[in-house]
Structure 1
Amino acid sequence: MSKIWLITGAGRGLGRSILEAALAAGHRVVGAARDPDSLADLRQRYGDRLLNPALDVTNPAQARRAVHVAAAAYGGLDVLVNNAGYGHLTPFEQTSEEDFRAQVETNFFGVANMVRAALPVMRGQRAGHIINISSVGGRVATPGLGAYQAAKWAVGGFTEVLAQEVAPFGIKVIALEPGGMRTDWGYTAREAASEILPDYEPSVGAVLNRMKAYVGNEVGDPDKIAQLVLELSNRERLPAHLLLGSDALHVFHQAETVRQKAAADWAEVSASTDFDDAELPAALKTAKFEPAGETFRA
């Protein structure tokens, strides 16, 4: 069945792959990008099944306009893919206030702006899928990616809260957390690196050196991820988080092992701040903190 999609950051990289997959599957798509001309070839091929307004996700008015374009032209909005984003790999100390804020504005507040615009339409329909393209960097820490990963950690938490809030009226929300993909993300992140201070060579410098060998050889296939996004858009139950890529699984499990050990090692200290006669409230014992997911089967 044909659905109505809105994809941000659709001009290149993963966003372009998702856009092409959705169009090839027969869907009607608003493919939003900062530069609408980047989609001229697809507009010519698919005609009125593709609309591509200019969109800066950091601008709430433009976010509302993009949703309005979808609803006015196609009659609603079934799938929102929040894909727009970028990162700069520099030590926090050497990241300007302007650059740090700009990365967070795009990678996190851009997601919030699009969701705020889309929710009234989806709530009225009592249906919809919101797919937030996050990163394994929303679960682990990488020196040099302070702004980018701060935003992605925020996206993960926001996604969990939102999924629980909107589940009663039929909206499904998921954060996809890929590892490295063969897009231009790595090149953009590296190009932003200036001469780092010698003190940061053991941390950020080591990451930059690893990226020299990794960029262009990432394990993640954007076209396979795009096909998975199509599959997820038909699911009635979704996990709040889904890691993508063997590299994402590897680094996530390493980070979780460290966290779990630290939690166990410090558990006595953690509990020591309770009142002496305190008991865990019954309501807290029965609370569920994540929507029920399902095992994915291709």
Structure 2
Amino acid sequence: MPQRWLITGSSRGIGRALSEVVLDAGHRLVATAREPAQLADLAERYGDAVRIAALDVTDPVAAQAAVRVAVDSFGGLDVVVNNAGYGNVNSVEDADLDDFRREIETNLFGTIIMTKAVIPVMREQRAGHIIQFSSVGGRVGAPGRAPYSAAKWGVEGFSEALSLEMALIGVKVTVIEPGGFRTDFAGSSTSLREGRAEYDAVVGATARLQRAYNNRQPGDPTRAAQVILEIATMDRPPLRLPIGSDAVKIIERADLGKLEELERWRGLSISTDFPPEDRPAAGPGNDPSEMSSS
């Protein structure tokens, strides 16, 4: 059965590949971009199956309007993909506060704004799937990308909390965590600054690696799009899905390191509790450890 999709950042990269894969599969789509003229060819190729909407994800009014296009044109909305985003390279010291705000506004608040715009529609339907784009940088702090990691870690926490609420109304949530893909993310859409000598070992190295890595990344945007299309058909999709062999390796190594650190400092961590005899008994509804996404 055809699904009704809305994808942010449809003009290039994985967003563009996903838009084409969704339409080729016979679904209907609201494709969005800051410059809708960049999507004109989609309308020419796919006709009534696609609607084009101008969208700055940081604008709540524009977000509501894009959702309204889906509802008015297709009668509802089954899948929303919060894909729009970008990430520059610079040191924490040298990135000014406006740089931090712009990246966090787009990558985190843009995701929150679009999510809040679609929830009422999906709540009424008692169905839907919200797919959030995070990153390897949303699981592992990336040197040179502090604003990006701050935003993407926010997306991860926001989406995990969201999933527990949405489960009560039949709406699914999945966080996609890409590694390196051959998109413009590492090209002209990114500002790469090696910065001062003190941080060259990590920030400068990140900028140089990004330039050398561009167009050599292992990830294929079309294959990523096909995986996301598959995820959107699942009754029980994963909450988190790293995509790309590099993403799996980096996250696996980081998670193992975090578990080792947790165990190493376990005694110090739990030493902060009241003695057992001074603690009230935990029961249903008053044990925070029971509130998890598992």
Fold similarity call, TM over 0.5 = yes
1:133 is matched with 133
The Cα of 1:223 is off from its aligned counterpart by 0.3
The Cα of 1:164 is off from its aligned counterpart by 0.8
Q: Residues 58 and 199 of structure 1: is their aligned pair in 2 closer, same or farther, counting only changes over 3 Å?
A: same
1:251 is matched with 250
2:92 is matched with 92
1:16 is matched with 16
The Cα of 1:211 is off from its aligned counterpart by 2.1
Q: Residues 276 and 131 of structure 1: is their aligned pair in 2 closer, same or farther, counting only changes over 3 Å?
A: same
1:106 is matched with 106
The Cα of 1:210 is off from its aligned counterpart by 2.2
Q: Secondary structure at the match of 1:175?
A: strand
Q: Secondary structure at the match of 1:45?
A: helix
2:47 is matched with 47
Q: Residues 121 and 285 of structure 1: is their aligned pair in 2 closer, same or farther, counting only changes over 3 Å?
A: closer
- Determine the C-alpha separation between the residues in 2 that align with 1:261 and 1:232: 31
The Cα of 1:285 is off from its aligned counterpart by 7.9
Answer whether contact 2:133 2:176 (CA < 8 A) is retained: yes
Question: Could you list the runs of 5+ residues in structure 2 that have no partner in the other structure?
Answer: none
2:265 is matched with 266
2:282 is matched with 281
- Determine the C-alpha separation between the residues in 1 that align with 2:208 and 2:260: 29
1:238 is matched with 237
- Determine the C-alpha separation between the residues in 2 that align with 1:256 and 1:46: 43
**Could you tell which deviates more after superposition, 252-261 or 242-251?**
252-261
The Cα of 1:214 is off from its aligned counterpart by 1.6
Tell me the alpha carbon deviations over residues 222-269 of structure 1, each in whole angstroms, 9 at most, x when there is no partner. Answer: 101111111111111122111111101111112112211111111111
Answer whether contact 1:4 1:74 (CA < 8 A) is retained: yes
- Determine the C-alpha separation between the residues in 2 that align with 1:22 and 1:195: 38
Answer whether contact 1:87 1:188 (CA < 8 A) is retained: no
Answer whether contact 1:89 1:145 (CA < 8 A) is retained: yes
Answer whether contact 1:7 1:80 (CA < 8 A) is retained: yes
1:216 is matched with 215
Return the letter of the residue paired with 2:125: Q
Q: Secondary structure at the match of 1:104?
A: helix
Q: Secondary structure at the match of 1:130?
A: strand
Aligned pairs, how many?
290
Q: Secondary structure at the match of 2:54?
A: coil
1:150 is matched with 150
Question: Could you list the runs of 5+ residues in structure 1 that have no partner in the other structure?
Answer: 292-298
Tell me the alpha carbon deviations over residues 57-86 of structure 1, each in whole angstroms, 9 at most, x when there is no partner. Answer: 000110000001100111000100000000
